[in-house]
Chains A and B, each alone.
Chain A
């Protein structure tokens, strides 16, 4: 988080207004700092030009890590470290390893993805991110411009023409 940004932002009452405004901002080549909403607005990502999240790829890698940890771990323990015969079955009884291998795959994938999610988003216990307006987590949809990129006057006329219900500035 870079220190001290002068932010000018507009609040919209409806996600349809927000989407139209984002489209207009893109058409007018105004550089949007960020868009905030109280719930995920579907269809916004492509307009905003956000690339698809790669979190699921990370999840796959974590899952594979779990698979290998469980399967190779049990294999090593029961064939090398301390081989014991259970009920006359072979040391390396693969079918019996399947349940634990599956569980650890799921466990590693979940924990890994959740930790990655909070890390890349810069969220976590005790984190206080600067916020623009109290109503953004309630019922307002917000487009924010950094005043280094978009001048205050430019932003104001943009918000007026796109039907924002309020325009505010804040230093974060």
Chain B
């Protein structure tokens, strides 16, 4: 509830929404007939998916020879696509897990769709190793089950088998996390639905009631799942990078791969989240819930991770030269000046140069530019994987084995087919479930809604033109949000604010019993000056301390208003006398 909010935070929910407005806005897309744009998109996606299925069947029927892989280049578009898709998935887990641990409120606007994206992207990714194995019907051989061949076990020392475990775990955990988040929202849809729809959503919502104990367990579960999904997501792309890094191929055999792959994965994933969310936001009219603040936050992450990727590329180049190892040097010379030079420069431009535009705030908040750049980054990250895989394999140790590779229509068809799968699933998801987490957005309304904080907070009405408006709206928002002091509702807090708040910031530490930490707590709650403290209710102060945690409960604020009164009137000598009598601020 009244968690401390920084004053510089921008609102994350605009349009002065009430709880019911949030329900209405976010649930109604699942209740209406789909718009024409959705139907067209869906038909195209399904058609593309059908072609992809055809190409997969073609591969299985005729064998892997329908691809242009050869003895030198054993991994081509298939593994490139695999790594690309799995990387895209990482942003969803980052948003839902890591940002939950960091208590970033903006994640609530995008986490649901991003997690859905993770699940669909991992499905697309998992397809490639399976069909790449050739005999798809023997795919269960990769799992360690008690079989009739000995039992003969898979090789647990192989990074390729680690991948099997990492990706199947990743998929399962993401699915559980996502669905548990969806259950309360399905209940919201259920309670608005009638007839057959109600039956379906009753099934999907698992009988959710919204009981306080259930919410408590739900939050405990979300927190622990976030806690273990965080190392999980880091491990997944680390293990994917081991597929390369544990080999002896120059250009692959590097220790920089795990962090570099993880950063690249988050980078590409956020690009895909932006591509999807900017379209979704427009079509479902979610501008009040996915604000420019959300977009800018994501662009900042793109800037950070893109720069990490850029530094990793340059480090690789430097180490290739510095190591004095001729094979490594040749591998990098070959990337930049060999037959696939265009993919190397495509990668460098898209991944190293393009994110740097986001240093400019205006461009970070420009939707058209963000959309364009998100596509550029998606392409660039595909090039990166192609450069690492095909370019490296094409020129190995033995010049007589050197070869070149370009995909056949079957390989291209399968890749495009996974796009069809991805968008088909995403489009279905956007009709069946609320694409923004309804309950989670409601839970941040009081601290992030624009009627409570920011330039449009409703308290402006009585106080135009003063530059300390922010203080006012902010302080009263939290006053309204403070339980136990008997005033709730914005109307009463406006009255409070008008009398109590002055644009004065005093050093509250002068009050005996208040240290830097408590001063910060009080500031966060809107108490900036001695006057404000003098007028504050002792119960409110006690509440602030209780909310801040058990460490603060031993503090007794009873004398603070009295001390503040003296300080506000400038009676420093009397204050000193009083403080001499007090014991650590206690009477």
Any chain A CB within 8 A of the CB of B302?
A: no
Any chain B CB within 8 A of the CB of A68?
A: no
Any chain B CB within 8 A of the CB of A63?
A: yes
Pair B202/A128 contact, Cβ less than 8 Å: yes
Interface flags, B137-148, vs A, CB<8A=1, else 0:
000000010000
Pair B1/A15 contact, Cβ less than 8 Å: yes
Any chain A CB within 8 A of the CB of B416?
A: no
With contacts A14-B489, A138-B23 taken as known, whether A125 is within 8 angstroms of B219 at the C-beta atoms is: no
Chain B residues with CB under 8 A of A142: 210
Please pick, from B172, B207, B216, the residue contacting A122 in the complex, using a CB distance under 8 A: B207
Any chain A CB within 8 A of the CB of B213?
A: yes
Chain A residues with CB under 8 A of B202: 128
Pair B176/A56 contact, Cβ less than 8 Å: no
Pair B157/A117 contact, Cβ less than 8 Å: no
CB closest residue in chain B, given A118 = B206
Pair A123/B172 contact, Cβ less than 8 Å: no
Pair A38/B1 contact, Cβ less than 8 Å: no
B1-29 with Cβ < 8 A to chain A: 1, 3, 18-20, 22-23
A3-30 with Cβ < 8 A to chain B: 14-17, 19-20, 23
Range for the number of chain B residues in contact with chain A: 35 or more
B49-89 with Cβ < 8 A to chain A: none
C-alpha spacing A37/B157, complex, angstroms: 50
With contacts A40-B219, A138-B23, A139-B23 taken as known, whether A110 is within 8 angstroms of B207 at the C-beta atoms is: no
With contacts A103-B165, A106-B173 taken as known, whether A34 is within 8 angstroms of B211 at the C-beta atoms is: yes
- B144: shortest Cβ distance to chain A, in Å? 7
- A10: shortest Cβ distance to chain B, in Å? 15
With contacts A55-B217, A97-B156 taken as known, whether A137 is within 8 angstroms of B207 at the C-beta atoms is: no
With contacts A17-B488, A39-B442, A78-B156 taken as known, whether A55 is within 8 angstroms of B221 at the C-beta atoms is: yes
Please pick, from A99, A109, A122, the residue contacting B235 in the complex, using a CB distance under 8 A: A99
What DSSP secondary structure best describes chain A's contact surface? helix
Chain A residues with CB under 8 A of B446: 15
Any chain A CB within 8 A of the CB of B161?
A: yes
C-alpha spacing A158/B242, complex, angstroms: 64
- A83: shortest Cβ distance to chain B, in Å? 11
In the assembled complex, 15 residue pairs joining A and B whose CB atoms fall closer than 8 Å, in A order, are: A19-B1, A23-B484, A38-B184, A48-B212, A77-B153, A99-B166, A102-B235, A103-B162, A103-B166, A109-B224, A114-B176, A114-B180, A117-B221, A121-B211, A129-B209
Interface residues of B (CB under 8 A from A): 1, 3, 18-20, 22-23, 144, 150-153, 155-159, 161-162, 165-166, 168-169, 172-173, 176-177, 180, 183-184, 187-188, 190-192, 202-203, 206-221, 223-225, 228-229, 231-232, 235, 239, 242, 439-440, 442-443, 446, 480-481, 483-484, 486, 488-489, 547
4 smallest beta-carbon distances between A and B, as pairs = A127-B207, A139-B19, A53-B220, A40-B215
